[in-house]
Amino acid sequence: MKLNKTYNKNIFLKKKDLDFLLKWIHSNKSKFVNNPISPHRKFLTLNQKLNHPSLFFDIKNKILSKENITNNYIDDSIYGDYIGYITNGGKIHYHSDPTISGYDHIRFNLFLSVPTKGGLPIYNGVTIPVIVGDYVRCNSSKEYHECEIVEGDIPRIVISYGIHLKQEKNKLISYQ
């Protein structure tokens, strides 16, 4: 399987970290689970208790810091953090994600491999061009999202980090 390594040098993910993550993912492909919703789509849930490399969780912390999210959130209790692996003919179906009361379900999707054709994320009908090293923030409980069909030998590999971010209460404006 080829990998698209057109790398975004402007992102915080270092090339050596990208190479480490891809090597780890490919050496652990047998642990990935088929996604029952879509063919050609697998995932692996990340869990610190299962001794997944700390780099996965360090990156999540960097993203949250970059997004200035330091409190008022809890880690995603529905899907958790996971690696998505989609090959030729696979896609993510059109949907929104569930959340918990008082919170928005937010996902940060970090692209480790991008197909030559297809596989781009689509949020609320807008296709978002990405390259390796980009991450995209999705309010997945409010935005309908999907991805294009992956075409060719290069898989779409994404680390999807999830949180529940406390909703801001509506501020009432008083005119007196």
Give tens-digit pLDDT for 8-27: 445 668 899 999 999 999 99
Query: What's residue 122's pLDDT?
Result: 95
Q: Has residue 134 been placed in a domain?
A: yes
Which CATH number does the domain housing residue 132 bear? Answer: 2.60.120.620
- Under the banding of pLDDT at 50, 70 and 90, the label for residue 168 is confident
Give tens-digit pLDDT for 82-140: 999 999 999 999 999 999 999 999 999 999 999 999 999 999 999 999 999 999 999 99
Q: Is the pLDDT of residue 143 over 70?
A: yes
Q: Has residue 3 been placed in a domain?
A: no
Give tens-digit pLDDT for 55-88: 999 999 999 999 999 999 999 888 999 999 999 9
Write out the residue range of the structural domain in which residue 80 sits.
15-166
Count of CB atoms situated within 10 Å of the CB of 127: 12
Number of domains forming the structure of the chain: 1
Q: Has residue 176 been placed in a domain?
A: no
**DSSP per position, 99-156:** --TTEEEEEEEEEEE--SBS--EEETTEE----BT-EEEEETTTS-EEEPPPBSSS-E
pTM, 2 dp: 0.89
Residue with tokens 């480490």: 20
Q: Has residue 125 been placed in a domain?
A: yes
